């Protein structure tokens, strides 16, 4: 998604990062205006709803403009940087006399003609992200959107917000008077949100580059409209037949508290869990199991030399064996077709808590891996999750989830299914407890196992059979030998 704005200047736009993502937040700029960049050099680090991604620029030259500050949320297709292809570091800053996008003289001027026929065209990089290539894009004139300015004190909207008359915000502010031209919106999500709430986008001035209307602008306008409506209703209810000059006091807004936006990973988790609760009729069953045999088996494996085997890898191996016996739980529901889709392979997700929030990396083809391979893959994905390097492909496509919440020091839970999967196995902490073993009371290593499942894909008998088999393997790991 790069476009030529003149013979040498290339405008690189935020590409489609895959998995249906429509926007990303700028976390950190990796280049400054005036820097010389090479083909495929990362220029910005962005955070999507699924992962942190370094975005490489498919052109080499001098950076003449950056679009958006750190913390700004940009939709797919919005400009990221402008690169003077073939320019040197000496003439780079001269072409862009400021760090803000569009601040240079050349930003507001359309070229009189395209490049000469003999001029060498910029080469593509061959490094392709989802949705855009790096071959040369056709030259086009850059459209400049003039800003409307009014003197301070005039009421209007700016950045999607309503400004009261008389409020002083600076020498000039941008208004959002209705226009006849196209509405500056790129994201279909923004258009759908406005359409669902009968909001006229022409009345908003966006906070994005060149007045682009972002989802945050629409959401703020909707909240402001709701607040005005609520205050109007309160006044009408409070005044009743009071004289026109009297005004009922409106309830004071809470002065304390902090608003935290639901965006990025936290927003994606909220959306997915809410959808799971709305669509999936889930049920949970659980059982206590004596894990002493499993712990001893792991100790024996690790004492024999070779790579150490993790406990979660053994639990994953038990899960794949149980799913082979009860394939109903390795499925998904196609609600539109009213069909249950049983999946051939097991792509095992596991819950991982990180500084950025809860993520669920996916171990591909877990059913075909042994304990050593599972251990290595769990370690790799966990490290990538903590470092924020997971790709969207490593966070999607799971068919069953293993949730080891015992690491938090709790015994049990009723987890929410990771939509669109059909089941999740939860594992609590393993602690010494009194247990009747071979007819005598003894202290054993006990764990609570829970299974949350979609009741549409199976009945309680199937879910109970799955959980009982898992518990039997935990108590007597030799049971797994029948399937090896």
Count of CB atoms situated within 10 Å of the CB of 75: 23
Backbone angles phi, psi at 166, to 5 degrees: 90, -10
The DSSP secondary structure of 277-333, one letter per residue, reads: HHH--EEEEEEEEE-HHHHHHHHHHHHTSSSPPPHHHHHHHHHHHHHHH-GGGSEEE
Q: Which two tokens stand for residue 234?
A: 């309160």
Separation of alpha carbons 457 and 461, rounded Å: 12
Residue 215: partners with Cβ closer than 8 Å, 6 or more residues away: 23, 73, 75, 187, 189, 190, 193
User: Does the annotation count 6 as an active-site position?
Assistant: no
Q: Give the torsion sign (CA, 60, 61, 62, 66).
A: negative
Backbone angles phi, psi at 108, to 5 degrees: -105, 5
- For the chain, the distance separating the N- and C-terminal CA atoms, rounded to the nearest angstrom, is 50
Active-site residue identified among 197, 200, 334, 455: 455
Active-site residue identified among 3, 198, 459, 472: 459
Closest alpha carbon to 206 in 86, 27, 116, 72: 72
User: Does the annotation count 455 as an active-site position?
Assistant: yes
Element (H, E) at 202: none
Separation of alpha carbons 39 and 278, rounded Å: 46
Count of CB atoms situated within 10 Å of the CB of 289: 25
Count of CB atoms situated within 10 Å of the CB of 241: 4
Residue 47: partners with Cβ closer than 8 Å, 6 or more residues away: 24, 25, 27, 53, 264, 265, 356, 388
Q: Which two tokens stand for residue 186?
A: 């790129």
Q: How many helices (H) and strands (E) does the chain have?
A: 8, 24
Residue 309: partners with Cβ closer than 8 Å, 6 or more residues away: 298, 301, 302, 371, 372, 375
Q: Which two tokens stand for residue 323?
A: 């799913």
Contact 363, 386 (CB under 8 A): no
Classify residue 113 by burial, with Cβ atoms within 10 Å: 0-12, 13-18, 19+: exposed
Residue positions annotated with a catalytic role: 455, 459
């Amino acid at each position: 998604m790069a476009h030529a704005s003149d013979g040498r200047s290339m405008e690189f736009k935020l590409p489609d990062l895959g998995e249906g993502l429509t926007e990303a937040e700028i976390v950190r700029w990796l280049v400054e205006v005036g820097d010389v960049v090479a083909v495929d050099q990362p220029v910005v680090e962005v955070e999507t709803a699924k992962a942190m991604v370094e975005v490489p620029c498919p052109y080499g030259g001098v950076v003449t403009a950056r679009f958006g500050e750190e913390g700004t949320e940009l939709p797919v297709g919005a400009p990221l940087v402008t690169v003077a292809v073939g320019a040197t570091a000496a003439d780079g800053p001269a072409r862009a006399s400021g760090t803000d996008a569009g601040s240079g003289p050349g930003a507001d001027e359309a070229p009189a003609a395209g490049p000469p026929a003999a001029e060498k065209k910029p080469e593509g990089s061959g490094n392709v992200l989802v949705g855009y290539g790096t071959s040369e894009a056709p030259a086009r004139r850059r459209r400049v959107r003039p800003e409307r300015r009014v003197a301070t004190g005039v009421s209007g909207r700016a950045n999607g917000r309503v400004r009261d008359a008389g409020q002083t915000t600076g020498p000039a502010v941008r208004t959002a008077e209705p226009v006849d031209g196209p509405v500056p919106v790129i994201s279909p999500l923004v258009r759908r949100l406005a359409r669902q709430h009968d909001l006229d986008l022409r009345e908003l001035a966006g906070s994005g580059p060149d007045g682009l209307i972002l989802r945050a602008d629409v959401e703020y306008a909707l909240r402001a409209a709701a607040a005005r409506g609520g205050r109007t209703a309160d006044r009408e209810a409070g005044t009743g037949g009071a004289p026109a000059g009297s005004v009922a006091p409106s309830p004071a807004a809470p002065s304390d508290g902090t608003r935290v936006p639901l965006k990025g990973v936290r927003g994606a988790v909220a959306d997915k869990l809410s959808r799971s609760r709305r669509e999936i009729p889930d049920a949970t069953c659980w059982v206590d199991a004596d894990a002493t045999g499993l712990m001893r088996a792991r100790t024996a494996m690790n004492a024999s030399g070779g790579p150490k085997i993790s406990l979660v890898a053994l639990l994953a191996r038990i899960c794949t064996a149980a799913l082979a016996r009860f394939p109903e739980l390795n499925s998904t529901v196609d609600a539109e077709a009213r069909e249950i889709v049983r999946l051939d392979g097991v792509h095992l997700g596991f819950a991982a808590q990180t500084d950025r929030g809860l993520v669920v990396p996916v171990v591909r083809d877990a059913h075909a891996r042994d304990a050593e391979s599972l251990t290595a893959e769990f370690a790799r994905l966990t490290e990538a999750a903590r470092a924020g390097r997971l790709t969207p492909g490593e966070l999607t496509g799971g068919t069953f989830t293993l949730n080891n919440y015992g690491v938090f020091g709790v015994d049990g839970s009723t987890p929410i299914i990771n939509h669109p999967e059909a089941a999740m196995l939860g594992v609590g902490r393993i602690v010494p407890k009194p247990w009747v073993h071979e007819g005598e009371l003894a202290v054993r290593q006990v764990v609570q196992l829970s299974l949350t499942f979609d009741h549409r894909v199976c009945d309680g008998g199937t879910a109970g059979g799955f959980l009982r088999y898992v518990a039997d393997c935990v108590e007597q790991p030799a049971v797994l030998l029948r399937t090896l």
